[in-house]
Amino acid sequence: MPERMVPVGDATLCVDTFGDPGDPAVLLLGGAASSMDFWEPEFCAALADAGRHVVRYDNRDTGRSTNYPAGKPGYTGVDLVTDALGLLDALGIERAHLVGVSMGGGIAQQIAIEHPDRVASLTLIETSPAPPRPDDAEPLPPPAERIQAMFGDPEPAPDWADRSAAIDRLVRDLATFGGSATLGKEHAREMAARVYDRTNDFAASQTNHWILDGGPPVDGSLADITAPTLVLHGTEDPFFPLGHGEALAREIPGARLVPLPGVGHEYPPPAVWPIVLPAIIAVTATDGVT
């Protein structure tokens, strides 16, 4: 089906779906500053071919969804959670399998804790515990030095209106966050160009998610998650090192951890789809029983 614009609360979200609406719904939740393009059509189609109704969408300030001036997001992290639930309502989906990467994984955890009736299963990719952790929990490993340097002494932003400069910067950032199994340069450039050309305001997309007010803490803990949970985590993630995925698998009852060799902090690259797709298909089978 073609992309369509769906009103959700005070925003309008650009949505794309794959497969039969009568099949179990899989809602893909994206990471910060990334449009739904990073959920590649071939990836979505493979899930749909396995009997899933796959929904991907642009968060606020990404792709074609509602955007705000760069540096002035008119919403909070709570609104991104509400948007996901509102989108399910708008599509007539009572209960979905949530698949979230990075920030999307945090959103998925919050929904699973605070709205368990809406979640059939949970797949957490390259993310970190979102709710407060016990005082005696093992500390999480810090980001790699290259990531600390990137945020501690950030490179000046290019002129985001300059298509070539913006694409160059996005390709470099993908490589910085990636691992040895990440997208090749040509694939990354094709992806970056597609993202740029679909985005209403690229400056806003690369700025606003990073400065959001997250809102109040999640009301609960990882131990409260009852949905069957799959944790997919790259062995070379420089932003949330593997210990973050191990913590999720340890602290969510019954969770299963599947390490992704050579993967960094990124959407699963095609090199590991033979691992990722069967694992997601298994956890989203029927009522999410693996």
153 assigned to active site? no
Rounded to an integer, what distance in angstroms lies between the CA atom of residue 25 and that of residue 38? 19
Q: Following CA atoms 70, 72, 76, 79 in sequence, which dihedral angle do they give, to the nearest 10 degrees?
A: -60
Helix and strand tally (H, E) in the chain? 9, 8
Distances (CA, A) of 286 to 62, 92, 192, 225: 32, 18, 35, 19
Active-site entry in 34, 102, 121, 128: 102
Rounded to an integer, what distance in angstroms lies between the CA atom of residue 15 and that of residue 253? 32
159 assigned to active site? no
Active-site entry in 37, 79, 83, 237: 237
Rounded to an integer, what distance in angstroms lies between the CA atom of residue 163 and that of residue 168? 9
Decide: residue 175, CB within 10 A, 0-12 exposed, 13-18 middle, 19+ buried.
middle
The residue assigned the tokens 């979102």 is 130
Rounded to an integer, what distance in angstroms lies between the CA atom of residue 116 and that of residue 28? 17
237 assigned to active site? yes
Distances (CA, A) of 127 to 29, 189, 190: 12, 24, 25
Sheet holding 119-125, edge to edge: 4-8, 11-18, 53-57, 25-29, 96-101, 119-125, 229-234, 256-260
Report helix, strand and coil shares of the chain as percent, to nearest 5. Answer: 40, 15, 45
The residue assigned the tokens 């980001």 is 143
Active-site entry in 97, 209, 233, 265: 265
Residues that are catalytic: 102, 237, 265
